[in-house]
Amino acid sequence: MLTIAQQQELLTLLIQLMTVFGSRILTAILILLLGLWLAKFIQRLSKRLMIKAQLEPTLIRFLVNLIYIATVTFVVLATLGKLGIQTTSFIAVLGAAGLAIGLALQGSLSNFASGVFMIIFRPFKVHDYIEGGGVEGTVEEIQIFTTLLTTPDHKTIIIPNSKLYGDKIVNHSIQPIRRVDLTLNFSYDTNLDQLRELFITLVEADERILSEPTPGMEVREIAASGIKILLTVWVSNLNYSQMRSDLNERLKQSLDADGIKLV
């Protein structure tokens, strides 16, 4: 048991400690509580601004969480500093760890950066048909590290964002109209006027073919094997694939009916 003198001495020491450190501890607690509230406020505000800017949901979730973690880290460091704890070495350790992680994840970070750039600059969007990175297909999802494509024969291609963004990207869906090109080889005895009338008849019979830009028939080459003719029509992008197939089929039927032979 402590004597009365010892108890008084301990009480005096506690009072002295509270006098010296009490205000510091209370201030540190206040900084921590206000900082956590501020981190939540900044998180909600940044999310609203990103939604208003129409960023992709995947990028919004990642950036919002990143902002929250960074804010909380700053608040914790400020709280520790107020308590008199040296944070310089702690910050140095975090920096070294970040550098080591960055070097170990160079490929992933490259994919992440490419994913962010694609989401921000939007060279394509979901449901666009694109070519890039040696593959082509319809974009199903743009993720942080990879992009998912579906091929016409319904295969799923998962391609790293750095490979896709670092290559030439051809977006077949971005323009409202597209040109259908048909290149055919005819024999030298083909009557070009008859062929032109047949082509005009096909064009006028299909409402999907646009009058502007004007459909065209062009003699591309006169070769030893025959005459190379380019037929072009403009259609809505949505009708491109079906129109190409239909035009090929109807042109074949018309050529057979008029006795015009291909070589």
pLDDT of residue 243: 92
Vertex 183 angle, CA 181 and 186, to 5°: 150
Mean pLDDT of the chain: 82
pTM summary value: 0.63
Element (H, E) at 257: helix 240-258
Alpha carbon distance 85, 148 (integer Å): 48
What is the predicted pLDDT for the residue at 185? 92
Q: What is the spatial distance between Cα 152 and Cα 85, in angstroms, rounded to a whole number?
A: 62
Q: How many Å apart are CA 235 and CA 213, to the nearest integer?
A: 9
What are the backbone angles phi and psi of residue 173, rounded to the nearest 5°? -110, -10
User: What pLDDT is attached to residue 112?
Assistant: 79
152 cis-preceded (ω within 30 degrees of 0):
no
What distance in Å separates the CA atoms of residue 72 and residue 32, rounded to the nearest whole number?
A: 9
Residues of the chain with pLDDT under 70: 1-23, 56, 58-59, 83-108
CB 212 within 8 A of CB 223: no
The angle that helices 106-121 and 57-82 make with each other, rounded to 10 degrees, is 120
> Domains in the chain, start-ordered, CATH in brackets?
9-104 (1.10.287.1260), 123-171 (2.30.30.60), 177-258 (3.30.70.100)
What is the model's pLDDT at position 10? Answer: 58
Can you give the pLDDT at residue 9?
Answer: 64
Which pLDDT does position 88 carry in this prediction? 66
pLDDT of residue 105: 47
Name the amino acid, one letter, at 134. G
Q: What digits encode the pLDDT tens for the residues 203-261?
A: 999 999 999 999 999 999 888 888 999 999 999 999 998 999 999 999 999 999 988 88
What's the CA gap between 184 and 202, in Å, rounded?
16
